[in-house]
Structure 1
Amino acid sequence: MATDSSQQRYYRAPCPGCGAPVEFRSAQSTHAVCPYCQSTVVRQGETLARTGKMAELFDDFSPLQLFAAGRIQDQPFTLVGRLQYSYEGGRWTEWIAALDGERTGILSEDNGAFVFSLPHQLQREAPDPAELRVGATTAFNGQSYTVASNEQVRLVSAQGELPRLPELGRPFAVVELRSDQGLVLSLDYDTRPPGAYLGRSVQLEDLQLTGLRDESAKEEKGRSFNCPNCGSPVTVNFAESKSITCRACNSIIDLTQGIGGELRHAEQHEPVQPLIPVGTTGQLQGAQWQVVGFQHRMGVAPGDDEHFGWNEYLLYNKKRGFSFLVDAEDGWSLVKPTTGAPTMAESGSRATYLGKVYQQQYAYNAETTYVAGEFYWQVERGQKSFNRDFASGTALLSMERSANELTWSSGSKIDSAAVAAAFKLDGKKDMFKRGDALPVSAAGKLGCGTIILIIVVIIILLIILSTCTSSSGGSRSSGGSYGGYSSGGGHK
C-alpha cells in the first residue's frame, strides 16, 4: 500500500507480465491494464495475476485522458480507466471515474456527446434483451422509459483500472432506455443479472475538468488512406468516424471495419453543392463550429406522391460535440440529439419533453440522397427512416426511427441572416433566405390593400388546392431528426 501527494491511499504492485508498477487508485477496481506491456491483470488480494494481453487503443481525438480530474454535483472525481467497444455501426468509449475511492461512475463518450452515469439498483429483474424492442416503453423503479437502442457489442480495448472487464471480443447485448426527463438507463448484459447505470447529459465545461489532453502537444494528424475507387488520398479526422466521402470522386467510404482492410465504397453521381462548404468554420450560439459533413435528404408523406428536399450540415465543436444546422423550405434551425426520449401521444399528434408540449407538424418517410464529408454514423445513399417533426413556437423536436434505433433531436429555429453572418457569407445572404423570412421582412413594406389582396389570393389558392389533394405534405419543417443513428452520448 502506498500514499500519493494528495494523501489518497492506493494499491501498487509489480505487473506479472513485465514487472512495471501497476496502480489501483479505486477500491472498487478489480482489473487493470499495464501501461507498459498491455497485460490484463486481475487483483487477487495483495498480488496481481496476468489473464491476457489487451489490444491497442484506437487513435483518439478526445480531449479526455487518464487522470483528468473534475467535479460532478460538487463531488470530485478522477478518470482512472477507459473501455472501448464496437458494434455493427461503429465504436464508442466509456471512461471510468473514481469518485471517492469507494464509488465509480462512467463518463460515456460518443463523438463529443457525454453522459455521466452511476451504478443503479433495479427494483425488478431486467427482462431478456429480446423483450426490449426499440420504441417500446417500460418502467423501472417507477420511472417510464423508451427503448432507444438494442445492440450486440464487443469490448475491443481497455486502459487503466476497471471495476469490471467484459471478456475481450465476446458479444453481449447493451440496451439503452431514455426518459422524458433526460435520464439515460443503460443495461449491460455481460453479467447476470445485467449491470444497470443511470445518468444524464453533461457538458465538459460544467465538469470543471483539469488535466485534459494538451492541444499543443498533440500531433494534429488524421488517419490517411487511398480512396478505393479513384486512389486519391483521404484523411479521417475523427477517431470514431463510420463514413467519409472522397473529395475527388464523391464516393462514400465505409469505415466501420477500419481502414487497413478492403474498404467498401459506393459511387455518387450528380453531386449536390452545399451552400456552406465542408470545412468552413462559424460562430453560432457562443461556440465555434466547423462544418464536417453535409447531406441532402428527400421526404414524402405516407400515401402522398409529392416529394420535398432539405439539407443538413453536420457541425463539430470539441467540447460541445456535434450539432446539425438544417436548411429547409420554411427556414433554418440548429439542433442536436437529445439525451432523453420524449413521451409521444399514441396518435402521434403531440410529444412532451422536459415539461414542454410540442404539436406534430409533419410525419413522413425520409431518404438520404447525397452526402459529403465525414460522419460519426454509417451513412449511405438510400438510407431510410420514418420521421415526425414537432414544434412549440420556435422550439423544435423531432423523431427519427430505424430498425435498431430511435433518435430524438431538439433545438430551435434560427434567422437566415444570422447563419450567413456566422459563416462569413454575408455576400451570399440572399441565397440563405427561406420561406420563413417573407412574412416578417415583407409585411412592413406592404400597404393594407396589398395585404388584403394577398390574403384573398391565398384563400382562393387554398380552395383550389383542397380539391386536388388531401395531403399535408409538400414541404418540410426546419426541425427534423438529424444525423440518423446517434445515441446522444449514452453508453453507446
Structure 2
Amino acid sequence: MIEASPQRAYRAACPGCGAPVEFRSAQSTHAVCAFCQSTVVRNGDTLSRIGKMAELFDDFSPLQLQASGVFQGRSFTIVGRLQYKYDKGTWTEWYAVFGDGSAAFLSEDNGAYVFTLPTSLQRDIPLAESFRVGATTAINAKPFSVASNEQVSLLSAQGELPHLPALGRPFAMVELRSAEGEVLSIDYGPTLASGAPALSLGRAVMLDDLKLSGLRDESAKEEKGTQFNCPNCGAPVEVKLATSKSITCRSCNSIIDLSKGTGAALQHAIQDEPVNPLIALGSTGQLQGAEWQVVGFQHRMGHEPGDDDESFGWDEYLLYNRKRGFTFLVDAEDGWSIVKPVTGAPVFKAGAQSATYLGSSYPLQGSYNAETTYVAGEFYWQVARGEKTFNRDFANDKSLLSQEETGTEVTWSSGSKLDGALVATAFKLSDKAALFKRADAAPLSGARRMGCITIIIVVILILVLLALLGRCSRCDPNVQNCSSSSSARTSGGSYGGFSGSSGGHK
C-alpha cells in the first residue's frame, strides 16, 4: 500500500534572512535556506545559522527537490541534495523522505542510480584504512568486495538534510559490493551523534522503475554547452555534457583534458591517422526501449599475453540517455554487443575458468591486454590514447560479462549480444546494413580472435581449397569424384572483445 506524504512538518524562520525553512523528517538536523544559502542546524524548536553554503554546480540531472516516487511500495519525496567530489569526479546524493518520516538516499553518478536505506553492522565498524580495494570481507555474514576507498569532500548542498559534513573538508568513504548486486556505503564523515560512521545498504535502480513525478523540465535545461578554443589548433570546441572529463577537437583530432575545467591551462595530445566511426558522433538510436545518443568513440587493440604478434581490434561507442546514463555499444569481429558497468561484484578467483554473477555462471572466453589507440567525442572519465588495461571476457549464451583491471581499479560490465541488422536499424542506417554484418554469422565464427599470422594461414588454406575445387570443376564426372563449386565470405569487422571501457561508478 502506497503511503501518503507526511502530514506534519516543522517550519521556522531562517536566522539569516527570515524566509521559511521546513523540516519534513524528525531525522533531519540541517537545512540550506533556498533564499540566502544559509546553513542552519536544528536544535529542538530552534534554528541556528552556522555558515553559508557554496552554490550548486549544474549537473543537468533530471531530478530536483520535491520530486516524488515509489520504492518497494512506499512513496517518497526528495527533500535534499548533497554534491560530493573525489579524485575521479563528482556525484550527488539525493535525500528522500518516506511517508512515515523515515529516510533514504538516491545516489546519482554519471547517470547511474543506487537507492539505499540506513543499516547497521553486527560488529564495530573498522577504520577506513583497513579496507583494501579488491579484497573480500564479511558484512553481517555475507561476503562483500571492496569496490572503492576514497577521500571525498562536500562541494555543496541544498534543502533538508540528516547530516552535513564540513564544506571542503576531506573524509573517507568506503563502498562495498556483493555478488547479489547490493551496495554498502560507509560514510566516515562527521555524520552521527555517536561519532560512528553512517551506513547505508541498497542496490541499483532505474528512474522509470521509481515512478517519479515532478522531474526537472527538460526544456528548462540550458542547451548551450561550454565553449573554448582548442589549445592545439585554435578551433572552437563545445562541451555538451557537464560531467565530461575529456573531449576531442573535431578539427585536429587532439584529445583535450577537461579534468581541471575549461578555465584551467588545458592539456592536449595530438592524434594522427583518425579513425572514421561507422556510426557518426551525435547520432541517435533506439535500443533497449530508450533513445541513445552517440557521444564518444574509441578504437582499442588487444594482445594475447606473451604474444605481441597476435593482435585484434574493436570499436566502442559511448552512448548517453538522460535517465539511464551511459552505456557502451561494442563492435567486434564476433558480433555487436551492448554492455554497462555493473553495480554488484561478480565472484571470480584468479586462475578460475568462470565467474558467477546474480546466480549465473559465465565461462571464461579469453584474457588479453587492451590498449586504447584512438578516441573521438566526449567521455565522463579522463580518457587517454595509450591507456592500458588487462581484460577478461566471459559469456553465457548471449549474456556477456567483462572485467577490466588497472593498477588501482577493477571494473565489471555486463550486457548482451546484438544482431548487426538491429543496430543498423536502430541508428537509421538500414541502407548500410551490409556493413554491420559480423563474423557471428560467418563460417569462421568459431575463431573468436585471430591474429594476423592466423588470418594469413587461413587465407592460404582457402586459396589452396579453391584451387583444388577449381581443378575438380574441370574434371569428367564419369571418371573422377567431382564436387560442386562453393564460395566463402569474410566479415569486414575488427577482432576483439566485448568489454566496456574504463570509468568506474561509485
Structure-1-length-normalised TM-score: 0.88
Residues 1:348 and 2:352 aligned together = yes
SS of equivalent residue, structure 1 residue 130: helix
1:103-114 matched pairs, under 5 angstroms: 103-114=102-113
The answer for unaligned runs of 5 or more in structure 1 is 442-453, 462-474
C-alpha distance in structure 1 between counterparts of 2:39 and 2:145, whole Å: 36
Of the candidates 368, 378, 393, which is equivalent to residue 364 of structure 1? 368
C-alpha distance in structure 1 between counterparts of 2:352 and 2:378, whole Å: 33
C-alpha distance in structure 1 between counterparts of 2:247 and 2:410, whole Å: 23
Q: Is the 8 A contact 1:386 1:401 kept in 2?
A: yes
Residues 1:479 and 2:498 aligned together = yes
C-alpha distance in structure 1 between counterparts of 2:40 and 2:93, whole Å: 19
Residue range with higher mean Cα deviation, 118-127 or 80-89: 118-127
Residues 1:73 and 2:72 aligned together = yes
Q: Is the 8 A contact 1:224 1:233 kept in 2?
A: yes
C-alpha distance in structure 2 between counterparts of 1:396 and 1:361, whole Å: 10
RMSD: 2.2
Report the Cα offset of residue 478 of structure 1: 4.1
Q: Is the 8 A contact 1:332 1:478 kept in 2?
A: no
Q: Is the 8 A contact 2:287 2:426 kept in 1?
A: yes
Of the candidates 278, 282, 293, which is equivalent to residue 279 of structure 1? 282
C-alpha distance in structure 2 between counterparts of 1:424 and 1:263, whole Å: 36
Q: Is the 8 A contact 1:38 1:53 kept in 2?
A: yes
What letter is aligned with 2:150? Answer: E
Report the Cα offset of residue 261 of structure 1: 2.3
The residue number in structure 2 matching 1:248 is 251
Q: Is the 8 A contact 2:5 2:76 kept in 1?
A: no
Q: Is the 8 A contact 1:92 1:240 kept in 2?
A: no
C-alpha distance in structure 2 between counterparts of 1:375 and 1:274, whole Å: 16
Report the Cα offset of residue 54 of structure 1: 1.2
Report the Cα offset of residue 160 of structure 1: 0.7
1:101-180 matched pairs, under 5 angstroms: 101-180=100-179
Cα distance 1:404–1:188, how it changes in 2: closer, same or farther (>3 A)?
Answer: farther
SS of equivalent residue, structure 1 residue 348: coil
What per-residue deviation string (whole Å, max 9, x for no partner) do you get for residues 204-259 of structure 1?
11101010011233332222222222232222222222222222222222222222
What letter is aligned with 1:179? Answer: S
C-alpha distance in structure 2 between counterparts of 1:425 and 1:264, whole Å: 36
Of the candidates 375, 381, 395, which is equivalent to residue 379 of structure 2? 375
C-alpha distance in structure 2 between counterparts of 1:294 and 1:64, whole Å: 28
C-alpha distance in structure 2 between counterparts of 1:167 and 1:139, whole Å: 31
What per-residue deviation string (whole Å, max 9, x for no partner) do you get for residues 179-213 of structure 1?
11111111122144322111111111110101001
Which one has a bigger Cα radius of gyration? 2
C-alpha distance in structure 2 between counterparts of 1:283 and 1:203, whole Å: 17
SS of equivalent residue, structure 1 residue 9: coil
Residues 1:410 and 2:414 aligned together = yes
Identity over aligned pairs, percent? 67
Residue range with higher mean Cα deviation, 177-186 or 343-352: 343-352
The residue number in structure 1 matching 2:82 is 83
C-alpha distance in structure 1 between counterparts of 2:409 and 2:175, whole Å: 10
Q: Is the 8 A contact 2:6 2:24 kept in 1?
A: no
Q: Is the 8 A contact 2:184 2:202 kept in 1?
A: yes
C-alpha distance in structure 1 between counterparts of 2:124 and 2:390, whole Å: 32
Report the Cα offset of residue 163 of structure 1: 0.5
Residue range with higher mean Cα deviation, 325-334 or 425-434: 425-434
Residues 1:423 and 2:427 aligned together = yes
Q: Is the 8 A contact 2:15 2:49 kept in 1?
A: yes
Of the candidates 383, 392, 395, which is equivalent to residue 396 of structure 2? 392
Q: Is the 8 A contact 1:377 1:483 kept in 2?
A: no
Structure-2-length-normalised TM-score: 0.86
The residue number in structure 2 matching 1:469 is none
Q: Is the 8 A contact 1:34 1:41 kept in 2?
A: yes
1 or 2 for the larger relative contact order (CA 8 Å, sep ≥6)?
1
C-alpha distance in structure 2 between counterparts of 1:19 and 1:263, whole Å: 44
The residue number in structure 1 matching 2:235 is 232
Cα distance 1:360–1:78, how it changes in 2: closer, same or farther (>3 A)?
Answer: same
The answer for unaligned runs of 5 or more in structure 2 is 446-457, 466-493
Cα distance 1:125–1:256, how it changes in 2: closer, same or farther (>3 A)?
Answer: farther
SS of equivalent residue, structure 2 residue 298: strand
What letter is aligned with 1:486? Answer: G
The residue number in structure 2 matching 1:465 is none
Report the Cα offset of residue 275 of structure 1: 0.8
